[in-house]
Structure 1
Amino acid sequence: MKTPLRVIVLGEGKDERGKSRTLPPFARIPHEQQGAMEILVRRALYPLLNDGQSWHRGLKDGDGIHVLQPPAPRLPRQPAMTELLTDPNALAPLVSAALKPLRGPVHADLLVATHDKDGAHPSAIKAVHVVNTSLGTHVPLLLPAPEIQAWLTRKRAIEHVYGREHCSVPEPDEEALKKDAKAELLRLLSTFGGRFNAKIQASLAEWISAEDLPRYDWSGWNQASDELKAALAAHGLDSMEP
């Protein structure tokens, strides 16, 4: 049995399925409490660690990838994740606590930063670069374009999650997805009165097919896989040993 890969995912939005997580830092997050980006990171990592095999829903908590609760920032006030991801001074302590603690064991094998590819993403690129350079780490930065919903908005996934009949949901408009993916997802849901929340988004991340995820090359999914592959190689994690 392979040693589980311990991963922490830092994202802009909610990191759970609509309910506040009360897990302590570095605790393993059960699949049912993971948010969309955490599930998508697992889906991107799984083929890299398993000879190209695709992740599937039957794996759930048994895919050999343990997503851990991020450490809490030790700051006078609780900043938004967008602030943390674009400020190297705020981001560095989180990376250090996970990958290079001053004392005690290393808590995670990999920390992944994510940020929508919007107007603020150059600041995130700079912050992650500064932190990696100063700490000697290799934190990959995933940039869904224009936002995470561009990875999730596929008619068949929507039909599965909402229990709709096959071909009852229209195909997404690619140009609309490029401009505002969340708005396009909401438009498709409005055709049958579907509601959207963090739990639904996580379910879409679980149901979307391996063939649909890379459909739009401009969305950044393939680049995300490349970033994770490079990070695994940098940390010597290409293949987890027993």
Structure 2
Amino acid sequence: MKKAFRVVVLGEGKDERGSNRTLPPFAPVPHEQQGAMEILVRRALYPVLNDGQSWHRGLIKQGDGILLLQPPTLRLPRQPSMVEILADPNALAPLVAAALKPVRGPAPVDLLVATHDADAGAPAVIKAVLVVNTNLGTRVPLLQPAPEIQSWLARKRAIELAYEREHCSVPEPDEQALRKDAKAELLRLLGTFGGKFNARMQASLAECVSVEDLGRYDWTGWNEASNELKAALATPALDSLEP
């Protein structure tokens, strides 16, 4: 039996499911506690690990060979937010080292992925990730949905499936509105039938959106996400993983 591929996702939110997880560092994250970005990372990673095969919702029960783990934390009196950590190489480095280059024992993680919306805070995160990768000799990929994660999720059919609406009961998103403010456009689409937006439903959208819709617009950054993961997996440290 092939060993599960272990992944940690560092995202902007405390917990994309809407509440703080109480799991210890590197503990497996149950599916029902996984956030939208964690689900999207596994969706982008699956074809890279499986000769181009597309991820599908049936793999939720069958298993996709990808094990999401709880991120490590900093041992500080005040735990900084992930937004602060991602923009500060001095804070980010200990998390990367703990996951990929621990002082003792084998690495508990096969891949650590950093994520941040392509907004005003992105340049600081890009710089921090570059500094950490250079100093530690790691290859942490940075995924950046543009302008924000909702640009990957605001799709007519995904909304209908996640909210159990009839086919063709939700309008198509406006591309220019998505470019300007994807979250606002998603809220507009939900408002056509009174749908509520929260972290749980955002994760459901991440499961329901089709691979065709994810790659519909080049500017959203989805295709770059796949390339970033491929580059990370091509590093010598990851090539040497045992099956």
Q: Same fold (TM over 0.5)?
A: yes
Aligned partner of 2:27 in structure 1 is: 27
1:95-130 deviations in whole A, cap 9, x for unaligned? 000000111221101000001001111100000000
| Secondary structure class of the residue paired with 1:195 | coil
1:171-208 deviations in whole A, cap 9, x for unaligned? 00000000100000000001110000000000000011
| Secondary structure class of the residue paired with 1:178 | helix
- What is the CA distance between 1:60 and its match in structure 2? 1.4
Question: How much identity, in percent, do the aligned residues show?
Answer: 77
Does residue 111 in structure 1 map to residue 112 in structure 2?
yes
| Secondary structure class of the residue paired with 2:8 | strand
RMSD: 1.4
| Aligned positions, number | 242
Aligned partner of 2:142 in structure 1 is: 141
Distance 1:194 1:14, change over 3 A: farther
- What is the CA distance between 1:15 and its match in structure 2? 3.0
| Secondary structure class of the residue paired with 2:90 | helix
* Contact 2:151–2:182 (Cα < 8 Å) also in 1: yes
Aligned partner of 1:52 in structure 2 is: 52
| Secondary structure class of the residue paired with 1:56 | coil
Residue identity in the other structure for 1:26 = F
Residue identity in the other structure for 1:143 = Q
Distance 1:187 1:8, change over 3 A: same
* Contact 1:128–1:141 (Cα < 8 Å) also in 2: yes
**Correspondences of 1:1-242 after superposition (within 5 Å):** 1-60=1-60, 62-235=63-236, 237=238, 242=243
Structure 2 distance, partners of 1:223, 1:96, is: 25
* Contact 1:26–1:71 (Cα < 8 Å) also in 2: yes
| Unpaired stretches in structure 2, ≥5 consecutive residues | none
| Secondary structure class of the residue paired with 1:113 | strand
Distance 1:238 1:189, change over 3 A: farther
Structure 2 distance, partners of 1:144, 1:229, is: 17
- What is the CA distance between 1:81 and its match in structure 2? 1.1
User: How does the TM-score come out when normalised to structure 2?
Assistant: 0.96
Residue identity in the other structure for 2:198 = N
| Secondary structure class of the residue paired with 2:67 | strand
| Secondary structure class of the residue paired with 1:6 | strand
| Secondary structure class of the residue paired with 1:212 | helix
Distance 1:240 1:95, change over 3 A: closer
Structure 1 distance, partners of 2:162, 2:19, is: 19
Residue identity in the other structure for 2:41 = V
Structure 1 distance, partners of 2:237, 2:231, is: 10
* Contact 2:7–2:109 (Cα < 8 Å) also in 1: yes
* Contact 1:117–1:146 (Cα < 8 Å) also in 2: yes
- What is the CA distance between 1:75 and its match in structure 2? 2.2
| Unpaired stretches in structure 1, ≥5 consecutive residues | none
- What is the CA distance between 1:235 and its match in structure 2? 4.5
